[in-house]
Structure 1
Amino acid sequence: MIDRLSQGLLFITLRLGRMLLVILVVLVGTFLLLRLAPGDPALTMASAAGLDDPAYVERLRHEMGLDRPLPSQLASYLGGVLQGDLGFSHRNQTAVWALIAERLPATLLLLLSAFVLSSVAGIGLGVLAASSRQRSGRLDRVVGVVALLLYATPAFWLALLLVILFSIALGVLPAFGMESVGAGLRGWAHAWDVAQHLLLPCVSLSFVFLAVYVQLTRSAMLEAFTQDFVRTARAKGASEQRVLLAHVLRNALLPVTTYAGLQLGQLASASLLVEVVYAWPGIGRLLYESLEARDYPLLLGVFLVISVLVLLGNLISELCCYLADPRLASGGAQ
């Protein structure tokens, strides 16, 4: 027990150390890429305000720290991040963290909803397809065709189609935003209003990943059906339901769990287009707005938060695999 606990602590410590190293590389890499990109954020901001006075532009560059040497800018930024300061958005005249904290709950709600929908529905359809393959195989073919169509459909194109169908043609679901503006709803009425606004973005974001879950679960289960432990369980008189759930599905979930951690990173990137299409007030739309305005501190802050979300998803995935299969203990700590 003590040896297992020490291996687990070493596993977590090494993963956390790797996370910090990746975050440092992301911070330095994105900072240098943005600073070396053509264009002047101060000039862009001055032009947007209708002021092209060189003295005003130079004052803006001084306030934004752009007139300092690049190594000094990088050291100052990294020092601020270590103290929890992500910088100041001169375009919005507020702290970067305040802007991100305001938008982050909406993004987390969208990401978690899409994650739950795609994983639960995808695993369920994968189980149905694999179990059907053991019998007639008709349902397996239908699920396979549907999964292929969903995987080949771009998320932004599906989002536009859903808006046209359910919002414009049928008028049953709202097309834009997170809640009804000026409605003043409270309690369950407000929750129902948010859920209605969430449905279309969630479906648009989750369908591609749902198809991957279907194929992964189906392939892993079909492979598990051919293993010796399944034949042994059947020889001992275990029911087909117990073989399916306790033996086949349990072993098939390991590759699915690994993909689930990677999915968070893909969800974070795919949510950018979905949030723009639906005007969803999350950090994906904030990233688009800051990129359009060349707001470097805000861009760096959003990149940092997305990187942390991706790395946390990967860490949770690795921990789930570690707990599901004790044989990973020796290899996971290396």
Structure 2
Amino acid sequence: MTILLLALRRLAASLPTLFLILAGLFLLLQLAPGDTVDALMAQMGGGDPATAEELRRYYGLDVSALVQLGRYLLRLVRLDLGMSAIYGKPVADVIAERLPVTLLLMGTSLALAFLGGMTLGVIAARTVGRWPDTLLSTLGLVFYATPSFWFGLMGIVVFAITLGWLPSGGFEEVGSGATGLARALDIAHHLVLPTVTLALIFLATYLRVMRTAMLEVMNLDFVRTARAKGLGPTAVTVRHALRNALLPMVTILGLQAGTMLGGSVVVESVFALPGLGRLAYESVVQRDLNTLLGIVFVSAILVILINFAVDLLYAWLDPRIAAGG
């Protein structure tokens, strides 16, 4: 119960941050040239000023920015994200169609990065100063320093075009009509390249953090005591060192959730995935303010919930946090 109360306090403290993010983004977008009506008129090939004025009145753009912000926040209290001017339907419906793709991409990428980074970090720490450590550390630095879009483009060139092993983009085969397990395997086949592309940079971070944490923990007194009792290297690593070394990994897990959401914009654009990242890009280009704010709101909620789960996990790994909470 103490752990839950601690996490709930952290969750409540995130609400003002959510308000500031939405209000700040709303006002910043008002400073940008053009609006939703300008984008609509451009799509229609132009129009007279009277039509533009009528459209601005219809979408509530004929009042000041502060009044628009007040109206938006009042709707948001009722969980009404408004209408999408470009797609012509509620923003909640547009986001609901795209959210599963982003959640699946984020979940698989985060799991791959965390588990891969943890495993490679342990291997690097146990072989410190030898060639496996040098090789893994060098690869981690290369992955971290290389832009994700370059990995994506090179993956398409090598594995999709040259070798023909994987599809170059899309979420699933269009018109295949597959259902059940066949559809799941088709989606998994399409997500291999995007998942690896998004995970590589974060995997490099986890690798470095895990290696450093393991080297630090392995020199602590309780680990030396475990060795003195006759436990083997694997038992010492798994039963004693790993849990304590995971604390820094869990810390950055919550911090990188938002970064991964930002990275999905690039990856979804490269691989033409119908997710929130690509929707955000389209909303910016077409000046669909309601849709963009809805994406930011949902993304912020996701990050807050992930950090809520991380707080629970962190307190479980380190009971001192719950005891001192």
Within a 5 Å distance, the mapping from 1:250-289 to structure 2 comes to 250-289=243-282
Matching of residues 15-34 of structure 1 within 5 Å: 15-34=10-29
Show the 5 A alignment for 1:67-78.
67-78=62-73
- Please give the per-residue CA displacement for 1:274-311, whole angstroms capped at 9, x wherever unaligned: 00000001010000111110000011001111111122
Runs of 4+ in 1 over 4 A off after TM superposition: none
Question: Which ranges of structure 1 fall in alignment gaps of 5 or more residues?
Answer: none
Aligned equivalent of 2:292: 299
Counting only pairs closer than 5 Å after superposition, residues 50-129 of structure 1 correspond to structure 2 as 50-129=45-124
TM-score (norm 1): 0.94
Report sequence identity in percent: 45
Aligned partner of 1:174 in structure 2 is 167
What is the match of residue 36 of structure 1? 31
Segment drifting more, 163-172 vs 10-19: 10-19
Q: Please tell me whether the aligned partners of residues 7 and 311 of structure 2 are also in contact (alpha carbons under 8 angstroms).
A: no
Long gaps (5+) in structure 2? none
Name the counterpart of 2:217: 224
- For 1:202 and 1:151, the matched residues in 2 are separated by 16
Task: From the superposition, tell whether residues 8 and 187 of structure 1 become closer, same or farther in structure 2 (CA, over 3 Å).
Answer: closer
Alignment of 1:136-175 (within 5 A): 137-175=130-168
How big is the shift at 1:330? 4.8
CA shift in 2, pair 1:9/1:208, >3 Å: closer
Question: Partner residue of 1:233?
Answer: 226
Q: Offset of 1:253 from its aligned partner?
A: 0.3
Contact 2:210 2:246 in 1 (8 A): yes
**TM-score normalised to the size of structure 2?**
0.97
Gap change, CA 1:81 and 1:24, over 3 Å in 2: same
8 Å Cα contact 1:262-1:313 kept in structure 2: no
Q: CA deviation at 1:84?
A: 1.2
Greater shift after overlay, 42-51 or 146-155? 42-51
Q: What does the per-residue CA deviation read over 1:198-236, in whole Å, with 9 as the maximum and x for residues that have no partner?
A: 000001000000111111111000011111111111122
**How many residues get paired?**
325
Letter in 2 for 1:51: G
